[in-house]
Structure 1
């Protein structure tokens, strides 16, 4: 299986890294909060609130990334190694996005987001 497909699997699970930071660092989440975890997450502040925002953003962008990877492979105009590299860099951009989001480095976070979106576009461009 191509590396890019493994990157799609990683992308599917990346949101849960954000929610784990939001729920399980700093305490406060337990069996009682698990009855209504969305209410718990909505009441967070600081880095935990930003980690939850990363989770939500990840659920929004992952389908576009997955589609770009699959389309790039189906069209078969790009070298598989190029697709793999773009996918790896996309995952890296998302990890940086998480780090910058949690650290409240807004400009760097936005740059990482734009880089990720540019990589999705790049996957389409190399396939054209």
Structure 2
């Protein structure tokens, strides 16, 4: 299936590429209106500010890093599957499922549900491998 000339799998790549940005925004949520002295977001030194966060903000930042780490394999798998002529409907479903699992992963990470997070991570990896061999 195509929308605006892109397959669902390619749209899933776009969504997956935006997930780290979503995680970063989540980590910074509500801190833009606070002054730096009061612990608000420090745009002059954002990485140090994020590294100093605790609790769910720190986990959202960790989810951001992991989302960036998962992205190259997903992009590569989708491109390879397209290049090798994978059955498009299967590829679209798998790519959509990967994004759903990554969203669940992020939610479980921020909520501090480590076992569920790990399960979502493993399932997303398995789906990514399935995409590669689709």
The answer for unaligned runs of 5 or more in structure 1 is none
How many residue pairs align between the two structures? Answer: 123
Higher helix share: 1
- TM-score for both structures, normalised by structure 1: 0.92
TM-score, structure 2 length as denominator?
Answer: 0.88
SS state at 1:35 partner: coil
Match of 2:125 in 1: 117
Deviation at 1:24, TM superposition (A): 1.8
Structure 2 gaps of 5+ residues are 1-5
Cα RMSD of the aligned pairs, angstroms, is 1.1
Q: Does structure 1 residue 86 correspond to structure 2 residue 94?
A: yes
Deviations 1:88-109 (A, max 9, x none): 0000000000110000000000
- What is the CA–CA distance in structure 2 between the aligned matches of 1:22 and 1:117, rounded to whole Å? 24
Residue in structure 2 matched with residue 75 of structure 1 by the alignment = 84
Partner of 2:53: helix, strand, or coil?
coil
Q: Does 1:34 find its partner at 2:65? A: no
* Structure 1 residue ranges (4+ consecutive) displaced by more than 6 angstroms after TM superposition: none
Post-superposition Cα deviations, 1:54-77, rounded to whole Å, max 9, x if no partner, equal 00001111010010001000000x
